[in-house]
Chains A and B, each alone.
Chain A
Amino acid sequence: MDATIAGLRQPKFRPGVTTAIEPGQAVLHHGTTRCAFAFEPAEAPAVARLIDQLAAGGIALDAMIAGVPDIAEKVPALLEQFDAIRLLVDSTPHRDGLVSGAQLYREIRRIAARVTQRVARSAFHTALIEGRATRTQLIGYALEYHYIVKAAPGLIGPALATAMTARERTVLQAFLKSELGHDAFLARALETVGITPDHLEAHQPLPATFALCAALGVYARQHPLSFKAVLFLFEEAQAAFVDAFDDRCRALGLPAAFYLPLRDHADLNADYDHADISRELMALEGVVDREAAVVVKRHVALMIETMIQQEEQILHFYAEPRATIARIFEDA
């Protein structure tokens, strides 16, 4: 690492520093800190100028030194001394792009709407409505859905440790609690169409399904802000989709014990009002800087694209009837 002063691009006296130029010496004060340094009479104008520059701020180090040629050689050491006794801050404003969590969420919802409009042809939904989705595809959909539900508590869990306020802890704990045990619920539904518990446990998700889980789980650990921002994508009520799913299941003669639990699970999410969880959590965020906001936006867009890919992969992979519908590679 460089010397401390190197970190200050445009050094400036911190608020509260007072300066006085007396014959032969300059005196600086901040609280109980007092600093004085002597100079030759001929150097007085340069010293006064340097102090003015430091009081005003906004001048890069090189330019500051160039502005006082008479004492140029002495300036770096002097600034290092000022820095050491905590008289300097950086005057460069770092405020560009700062937003509140709630504002970032507004922008995210707009981005989500635009990305969805641009890339989202809900291929699976369309296949349901047009009566093209097959029995294998419907079961495949439930298998992939089950994988996410099964993984959910483990994905959400790490986020609990990052909750730093009582409110956030409450919200996240309630959310986690509301997700527990749903895998058993869906497992029973899948059993009615012949997916044994062993097959279900051995089932390997499609790449996009795993990508969704990995993203959520990794953001919960590595970038909680992204985790909070993407949750709404998983929890939005999709009544039209659930209706179409039920209709198609009935048309294909799949048992009600298969599709009703999926509907119940969707209703459960709607009841708990999960869809607002991102808003609630983001509103608890303080200020978000530009880079963090860019990272979150990138992650939201990618999550939507991956969700679209997941639907395409389900349709593609489960297109052909399979002897064992679950994806099991252990004998590969």
Chain B
Amino acid sequence: MHTDNAFTIDRPRLNAELRVGEAALLLGDRHTLVSREVPQAVLERTLRRMDGTTALDRIVADEPALPRAAADELIAALDGLGLVDDTALPAFRTGSDVILELEELVEARCETTIYRNPFWQTCLAAHAPGDLPQRLATGMVIENWHFLFRESYFDAPVLSYVPNTAVRLLLNEFFSEEYGHDEILLRSLQHVGLSYADMQDAIPLPETMALCNALAYWAHNDPLFFFATLGLLEGQGMKEDSFIEACTRVGMDDAFVGPLRTHANINIGAGHGNLTRLIFQQIPAIAASDVRRLKAQMPLFVDLYDAFYTGVWRHYTSDAPLLRRVSEL
């Protein structure tokens, strides 16, 4: 029997009992195999080696009397009759292994981007009043609010993550802890004179929207990659938030800094920085082609995140109006 769409089999495993008859080999109780060009002894030896532990290539190499074409034909016939399985797996790696490599890529890209970003340099160097202008700090909170206000846009698509229950539960737990954080940041904004109505009229910076849309796009279309971005976004390995520490050092009002700290402490307390690791630890296998894609895209994500901070720096150190408003378009 020949099927046109037979798959190739790399590591065959005969799934029927093989018995030797008088003039033919018997497979299970319904099939007989009559050897023509290949001696029956060779055929029998070949079939006995099809135990799922030996590659077909190896079997063929060890049997000079079994031409490759005959082996392929044999496999195709057995496959067509449903008598053979393949124990070979496409190349893959475990999630917990892959995430470490992705983290290294993030780290390497951050070295030349986010870690050198003028916004973060300013935060790290700020010690005295004036080192971190209030307008810049307010701007950072405005853009963060825009981001958190849209959090459901990019979290929602993965709340239904069907392939893996443990991952889905982690994400639902995470979302329930994140939900409403824009309201917390709004309290800081209200202290500096911005109302909810102002924010409803506000336009985020294009870089902020780019980040939100990129995450939503990945959440919808490439959830694995979306999961891989959460570590950096949620401050993996961070014990404190450098921005909030800078606001505190330069003596900004408690009413402004307090809500920021509340938000940050919820994330740190709930271990959100660890979420990416926890998710990937639950993923048994990622195909090599997927790993390749995840790695290839990672610099793009870091660049989008870096652009977010660059946007904050550019707009809120300029003399443009603090809020960009739809009503003023």
Contact = CB atoms under 8 A, between A and B. Distances in A.
Interface in B186-215: 200-201, 203-204, 206, 209-210, 213-214
B323 interface: no
Given A204-B300, A302-B206, A215 B213 contact: yes
Interface string A200-229: 001011011011011101100110000000
Interface string B208-226: 0110011011001100000
A215 to B, nearest CB: 5
Given A205-B300, A294-B201, A114 B329 contact: yes
B307 interface: yes
Given A215-B213, A217-B220, A210 B296 contact: no
Contact of B326 (A213, A298, A332): A298
Contact of B213 (A205, A214, A294): A214
B329 A297 contact: yes
B208 to A, nearest CB: 9
Interface of B: 105, 108-109, 153, 200-201, 203-204, 206, 209-210, 213-214, 216-217, 220-221, 292, 295-300, 303-304, 307, 326, 329
A305 B108 contact: no
Chain A interface size band reads: 20 to 34
Interface string A69-95: 000000000000000000000000000
B292 A208 contact: no
Contacts of B292: 330
A2 B147 CA distance: 29
A314 to B, nearest CB: 14
Interface string A103-134: 00000000100110000000000000000000
27 contacts: A114-B329, A204-B296, A204-B297, A204-B300, A210-B214, A210-B300, A211-B206, A211-B210, A211-B213, A213-B217, A214-B210, A215-B213, A217-B217, A218-B217, A218-B220, A221-B220, A222-B216, A291-B200, A294-B201, A297-B326, A297-B329, A302-B209, A309-B206, A328-B296, A330-B296, A332-B105, A332-B295
Contacts of A301: 203, 326, 329
Contacts of A202: 296
A215 B220 CA distance: 12
A233 B216 CA distance: 21
Given A218-B153, A302-B209, A204 B299 contact: yes
